[in-house]
Amino acid sequence: MKVFIYFLIAVASALIIYNLTFVDFQNAFSGDSKTALIGVLASSIVVVLMVILLMSRAISERSED
């Protein structure tokens, strides 16, 4: 499970980088830039949630001992 979580973090990070290439920073809220920003936001949320899951699993393992 831990490897799968790290895999998801890596994929989400790659999607963040990929979507950032489509953002037009001069006009960020129109057309493809808007879609890319939504993708960046969604991928960022995935990274945060997976880090929270990793931390909660580590705390759970420590408390079982």
pLDDT in tens, 2-57: 999 999 999 999 999 999 999 998 988 888 899 999 999 999 999 999 999 999 99
- The widest CA-to-CA distance across the chain, in whole angstroms, is 54
Q: Within 13 Å, how many C-alpha atoms sit on residue 23's CB side?
A: 16
Whether the pLDDT of residue 64 is over 80: the answer is no
What pLDDT sits at residue 65? Answer: 63
Cβ neighbours around 48 below 10 Å, total: 12
Return the domain boundaries, the chain. 2-60
H helices of 21-31, in order, are none
Q: What is the model's pTM?
A: 0.87
Q: Which amino acid is at 53?
A: L
Q: Position of tokens 């393992």?
A: 61
